[in-house]
């Protein structure tokens, strides 16, 4: 029963079905969308992680269809809209209400790149783990990251990229931050990256997912505490 509901959420992401009132896609008019189904899943006790997994599978499928030229940018946009409807429901589950004591995390999607779903997930989970998150948005120029580091001394910086073409901007941004603020810790992530590319960019860390980003941040903050004690 629950499996059916979860699968249906994934299908809504793939098909870009946002809510019942949405006229898109034509063959799903009048049916519940990701909005209603997520609310139902949560009230049935289905965990946010399972819902997210279903969304990621839906995104994966639409991405593959895009690669095969079966769908185009408008379909990807509808998928993103549907995913945002899910994330609005999941956000409270990632917020612990913990005092923001661990430090500041500046995050943004690098210049030239408009993909923000993964970045938003990382922001939500990091914030939920007690960090103050300063989200600079998408298509963030190098100078904006630099200004944010200046305004938030001691912050850790997170860069996200989803396109192989914008990995160059990511690399330049890491280098610029490191040139101006050698002690600033930078972590990178996003689908086209690996720990090897991250290392080549001279980033301090790489995480494949939000949980990895939290683990990295917590490790850094622990090492800072140990330095202060020593
Ligand atoms: Co675009 N797109 N897109 N797209 N899009 C991809 C990325 C693509 C793989 C699709 C494909 O061809 N199969 C392909 C990139 C190919 C490549 O370079 N390797 C692609 C392309 C080509 C394009 C355009 C160029 C298409 C065009 O115009 N012809 C264009 C570029 C626009 C631009 O950015 N300048 C474009 C546009 C778009 C939309 C705007 C329509 C839309 C994005 C809407 C939005 O984000 N608001 C879109 C979408 C939705 C996708 C796919 C389908 C889904 C991306 C997504 O949200 N995934 C994507 C195909 C796919 O991924 N299967 C695709 C779900 C999300 C939860 O995962 O973002 O990977 P992800 O984030 C993960 C991890 O990567 C990680 O944690 C997240 C959660 O697990 N992570 C981090 C991310 N950032 C992190 C930072 C960290 C740590 C971990 O630390 C700081």
For residue 162, how far is its CA from the centre of ligand 1 (angstroms)?
A: 5
pLDDT value at residue 227:
72
Q: Are residues 35 and 94 in the same domain?
A: yes
Phi, psi of 140 (to 5 degrees): -90, 120
Q: Which of 99, 115, 141 is the last residue of a domain?
A: 99
Our count of domains for the chain comes to 2
Per-residue CA distances from 173 to 177, 187, 209 (Å):
6, 11, 20
Q: Is the CB of 162 under 6 A from ligand 1?
A: yes
Both 128 and 224 in a single domain? yes
Same domain, 67 and 1: yes
Give pTM, 2 decimals. Answer: 0.94
Indicate whether 88 and 185 sit together in one domain: no
Rounded distance between C-alpha atoms, residue 23 and residue 142, angstroms: 40
Share of the chain above pLDDT 90, in %: 87
Provide the domain limits for residue 190: 101-230
Domain at 53, CATH number: 1.10.1240.10
* CB distance 160 to ligand 1 below 6 Å: yes
Cβ(124)–Cβ(94) below 8 Å: yes
d(CA 204, CA 184): 9
C-alpha span between 146 and 157 (Å, rounded): 10
For residue 112 and ligand 1, the question of a CB distance below 6 A is answered with yes
Q: Do 37 and 95 lie in a common domain?
A: yes
Instruction: Verify that 61 and 132 share a domain, yes or no.
Output: no
Last residue of a domain, one of 59, 77, 99: 99
**What SS3 string covers 18-83?**
CCCCCCCCHHHCCCCCHHHHHHHHHHCCCCHHHHHHHHHHHHHHHHHHHHCCCCCHHHHHHHHHHH
CATH number at residue 144: 3.40.50.280
Q: What is the mean pLDDT of residues 25-39?
A: 98
pLDDT digits (tens, 9 = 90+) for 122-156: 999 999 888 999 999 999 999 999 999 999 999 99
The verdict on 151 and 220 lying in the same domain is yes
User: Residue 224: pLDDT band by 50, 70, 90 thresholds?
Assistant: confident
Alpha carbon nearest to ligand 1 atom 70, residue: 191
Q: How far apart are CA 62 and CA 71, in angstroms?
A: 8
- Closest residue by Cα to residue 155 from 193, 116, 126: 126
The CA-based angle 144-194-119, given to 5 degrees, is: 40
């Amino acid at each position: 029963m629950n499996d059916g509901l979860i699968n249906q959420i994934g299908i809504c992401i793939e098909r870009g079905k946002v809510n019942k009132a949405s006229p898109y896609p034509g063959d799903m008019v009048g049916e519940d969308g990701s909005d209603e189904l997520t609310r139902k899943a949560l009230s049935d006790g289905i965990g946010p992680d399972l819902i997210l997994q279903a969304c990621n599978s839906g995104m994966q499928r639409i991405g593959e269809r895009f690669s095969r030229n079966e769908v185009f940018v408008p379909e990807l946009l509808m998928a993103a809209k549907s995913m945002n409807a899910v994330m609005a429901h999941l956000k409270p589950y990632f917020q612990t209400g913990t005092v923001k004591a661990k430090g500041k995390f500046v995050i943004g999607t690098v210049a030239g790149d408009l993909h923000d779903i993964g970045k938003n997930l990382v922001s939500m989970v990091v914030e939920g783990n007690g960090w103050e998150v300063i989200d600079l948005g998408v298509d963030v120029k190098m100078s904006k990251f630099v200004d944010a580091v200046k305004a938030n001394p001691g912050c850790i910086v997170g860069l996200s990229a989803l396109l192989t073409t914008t990995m160059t901007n990511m690399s330049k941004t890491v280098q610029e931050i490191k040139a101006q603020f050698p002690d600033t810790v930078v972590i990178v992530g996003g689908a086209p990256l690996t720990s090897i590319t991250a290392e080549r960019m001279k980033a301090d860390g790489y995480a494949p997912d939000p949980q990895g980003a939290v683990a990295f941040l917590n490790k850094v903050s622990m090492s800072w505490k140990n330095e202060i004690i020593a």
